[in-house]
Structure 1
Amino acid sequence: MAVLGLSLVAEHVSPKVAGILSGYPLGTAIALFYIGLEISPEFAASSAIYTLAGFSASLVLVCSYYYTSALLLLRVKVTNGLNCFLSTIAAVSSFLIAAYLISLFSFTLSISFILSLLAVLVFGGLLSKIRDAEVDDKLPITFKITLFRAVTAALIVLIVTGIAKVVNENWAGVLSAFPITLLPFLMIIHLSYGSAKAHTIIKHYPFGLGALMIYAASIAYLYPKVGLIAGTVVSFILATLYLLLLASVQHYIRAYRRRNALP
């Protein structure tokens, strides 16, 4: 449902807004909740520290997706479908390499948060020059399109949560940072509307990632203290407050720029 909802936002609002909302803790929340439910809240809390560190790997993923896609457009001129496929392969491979390297180190909650914050600043700067693009000709939402989007998202969730059962908490945590919602959503928009719209989503993803960082940090602290349900609810509230604050700041910046643009 999250992927379908983001697709509708991209189509009917803008890819920019959808890119920011992609940072909302949807897929990661599902992964961490099921790890806590099927293993233990303490295991999920320890995993969340590595999830927080792993968000830097998710930024490596989107950056790799963009540069692969842009390079293919510039140099090779492949079809849109092949561009999407090769960009996805490069992105997932980059994530796995980065995730493996992260899992080799020990992290505290504060170090994980600092690592992800630095990654947001670095990758956000690298991606900031991407030009925004809007969805013009919206595809009709047929049963076949809806089914494809739902199955793609569900398969990725099942794979990530399934792997988490057979690995240690370091790997389980980093894998929970895999952009379960973003990647299938990105592929759907790329296949449906072309690379420029997908690139717009990637450009604004780092801004929304703050919500995921707050969510994971809250889970790491709250799950052992208040349990799965209360910990999840409070963490969602904090992540939502971040996005509301971000929206207010961006609105203020736009209004300030409009005022200063006037003679």
Structure 2
Amino acid sequence: MDVPLSWQLAKLLVSIAIVLGLSVIAERVSTRVAGLLAGYPLGTAIALFFIGLEISPSFAAESAVFSLAGFTATLALGGGYLLGGRREGLPGVLGGTACGLAAWLLASLLLTRIDFTRLTGTLTTLIAIVGFIWLYRHLPDTRATTVRGGFRWPALAIRAGLATGIVFLITALAHLLPASWSGMLAAFPISMYPLLVILHLTHGAAPAATVIKHYPAGLGALLCYTLCVSFTYAPWGLAMGTLAGFGIATLWLLGWTKLQTWHARRALIGT
């Protein structure tokens, strides 16, 4: 079907706003918080919503089932980027991107061969989350230094171009691919990948590695969101299903934050 211009403009504006917001948080607050928020249902929510709008809510709900397992491929992308992106500057970004995309594609090819249900897809990613948190446990946290003068136009262009290009590519391919691959593409780190590139180019490999380290913990909110919309898109419609998904994801993120605070206090008392 022909996609109205108003829908295309909405995708453009929302994608730009999300990536710029994450970049501000990473530079002004901390890369740890940015990593957690990168796992919040932002990019995937955009992709699934517009897939549902342009094709059908039922197709988006079916795709969401495969997205649940597809987040495992996203974790593989982060691991690949970490291994290949150890150098500074553009060589590090290119190396990290090549290794990350290769890891994502290999994991996606394996995952699309499995007929996932909501339960098995969720369990697959939960196991992957635990595994990657354990693998990253010794990575140091590095805060991005603030750049004087604020954002520059070249940086703005990179952020806008990457996010918008990924969103438009995913939603366009969804018209041509089955729900399994549409779900895998919707699970692609639309908001995290541009953030990695920006941090890597402007602040170095260490802050980018910090975002990757904390990304698995933030995926819990994204899993909650995707599981919710897989149930609610078809019977409730896109708007109500999206609101319900964000509500569930927010509750999970608040609970996770409180759990981390409690654990930190216990560790402090223990010392």
After TM superposition, the score normalised by the length of structure 2 is: 0.90
Of 182, 185, 196 in structure 2, the residue corresponding to residue 172 of structure 1 is 182
Q: SS of 1:121's equivalent?
A: helix
Which of 89-98 and 202-211 deviates more?
Answer: 89-98
Which of 92-101 and 209-218 deviates more?
Answer: 92-101
Cα deviation code 1:125-164 (max 9, x no counterpart): 1112111101224252123322321122111111111111
Tell me the residue number matched to 1:228. 238
1:99 aligns with 2:115: no
Tell me the residue number matched to 1:148. 158
Of 31, 35, 46 in structure 1, the residue corresponding to residue 47 of structure 2 is 31
Tell me the residue number matched to 2:137. 128
Tell me the residue number matched to 1:76. none
Cα deviation code 1:149-200 (max 9, x no counterpart): 1122111111111111110111111111001110011110111100000000
Distance 1:126 1:115 in 2: 17
Give 1:98 shift. Answer: 1.0
Distance 2:223 2:59 in 1: 18
Of 50, 66, 74 in structure 2, the residue corresponding to residue 50 of structure 1 is 66
> Which consecutive residues of structure 2, in runs of 5 or more, have no partner in the other structure?
1-16
Of 110, 113, 117 in structure 2, the residue corresponding to residue 108 of structure 1 is 117
Distance 1:97 1:164 in 2: 19
Of 169, 192, 195 in structure 2, the residue corresponding to residue 185 of structure 1 is 195
8 A Cα contact 1:49 1:107, kept in partner? yes
Cα deviation code 1:64-95 (max 9, x no counterpart): 1111223xx4xxxxx52111111111101211
Q: SS of 2:190's equivalent?
A: coil
After TM superposition, the score normalised by the length of structure 1 is: 0.93
8 A Cα contact 2:118 2:227, kept in partner? yes
8 A Cα contact 1:63 1:127, kept in partner? no
Structure with larger RCO (C-alpha < 8 A, sep 6+) = 1
Q: Please tell me the residue identity of whatever aligns with 1:176.
A: A
Distance 1:175 1:146 in 2: 24
Distance 2:83 2:153 in 1: 33
Q: Please tell me the residue identity of whatever aligns with 2:109.
A: Y
Cα deviation code 1:192-249 (max 9, x no counterpart): 1000000000000000000111111111111112111100000011001111111111
Distance 1:219 1:86 in 2: 35
8 A Cα contact 1:100 1:171, kept in partner? no
Q: How many residues are treated as equivalent by the alignment? A: 254
Q: Give RMSD over aligned pairs.
A: 1.2
Cα deviation code 1:78-126 (max 9, x no counterpart): x521111111111012111211221111111101010010110111111
Of 225, 241, 260 in structure 1, the residue corresponding to residue 251 of structure 2 is 241
> Which consecutive residues of structure 1, in runs of 5 or more, have no partner in the other structure?
74-78
1:206 aligns with 2:219: no
Distance 1:12 1:128 in 2: 24
